Structure 1
Amino acid sequence: MSIIPAPVSRFFHRMASPPIFYAFADKLIPWLSLIFIGLTGAGLYLGLFVAPADYQQGDSYRIIYIHVPAAWMSLFIYVLMAICGGIALIWRMKLAEVMMVSSAPIGAGFTFIALVTGSLWGKPMWGTWWVWDARLTSELILLFLYLGAISLYGAIEDRRTASRAVAILVIVGVVNIPIIHYSVQWWNTLHQGPTVAKAGKPSIHISMLIPLLLMATAFKLHYAIAVLQAAKVEILKREQNTQWVKKLIEGNS
């Protein structure tokens, strides 16, 4: 007996169909965009104008409203890619391949933002733009893993073969995720320890925490919008010779 409820199982089976997924994504993106705009506006307003200055860092701490959500997303997206990669290898599901390869450039973008904003934050706090700190170095390795996945997919002409190669790379590279997460606990690093995702009460004031969580949610919505858009393009490339794509093109022409 399956532990997944029947309606949920039927939904995912339907979404595995490229034309159904394409139509679903097309309808969902505008709604996600509206919510994203609202959350981003609220998060930035509360974070930049309502939250008080930090007693040690002053106003320079406000970069966390970009840096921290971007860093969270860099890990979140890679884990999702690894899950999609596993599904693609085991069940040969095309949509899992599409979501995996479509996520790579977005994840690389978030990782790059996390590294750049971390350097901007580190300069006034540490007195230097960069140190070979465990957290920073492992995050840089994550960026290379994303870029490697993008390059590998582009280097192999057959998309199914390329997707399987990327899936293997991503799954092997997932070992870096716990290293990034626990690096501040395993090694003596300059990077501060966890303040939100830790046991007990978060060591950040509620007036600073609320906009941070709003921005984190907005970043997740941004990823959802971006990956759906990229997946639609990837599906059209893969299904360009099918009847439903030809009808779609005729209908839009």
Structure 2
Amino acid sequence: MANLSRLHISIFTAGLLLSGVASASTSAPTGFVAHYQVSRDGQPLGTATLTLEPGQNGAYRYTSQVDGSAGVAALLAASVNEESQFRWNHGTPESLEYHYQMQSAFKTRHRQMSVDWNSGQVSVDEGKGVQHYAAKPGMVDHNLLLLAIGWNLQQGRSGTLSVPVAVRQTVETEHFTVSKDGPVTVPAGSFATTRVDRSDAGKALSAWYAPAKFPVPVKLSQQEGGDITMQLVDFKAE
């Protein structure tokens, strides 16, 4: 359960500060549904589904759901659900709302965040009182991370990524390196990939993208809480 709860399918943003690249396209995003296999230390753990769809008033809704279907996660009926609402602002996503819930047979955790861009303020509530802090342009929540990076890779971006991410008490800058990599084979097929690695100390996370085909990774590896891996099973544009 603890390992499943750490798997936030996220990584981040526009407002990216990238070295030596052109500006991103202003094209609005299109909807999709992507399914993944999730494993821990090579053993099946569950499934994940990522969904993007247009929302109301020009906003978009992006959800990620991880369900434990094997091993301890299945016994505990563990699941993690995240939902982001964001706006498309001058070719980049910016968070509007974020909801997180982890539920198991023994424990439930939740967090919700909202952004008032008129006042430039972020509000975070985990059930122990609301916290407030200043927003930053191009800021996203953790759930948008992988998706926002994917959109930028599709525009040919490379080099070092520095990303403003809204967390519990502040906006922190997270750093990544982008490099070409060899073919990666997952249930959805074999793809030439671009690799993204988090470069902050103690934050081991790697993602492999096929930018010509998908805005989300074909494979994700996260070492926190065990060697947790996601592999793409299928992707459907909508």
Asked whether the two chains share a fold, i.e. TM above 0.5, the reply is no
The structure richer in helix per residue is: 1
Greater RCO (CA < 8 Å, at least 6 residues apart):
1
Structure with greater strand share of residues: 2
TM-score, structure 2 normalization:
0.29
Question: Quick check: which has more Rg, 1 or 2?
Answer: 1
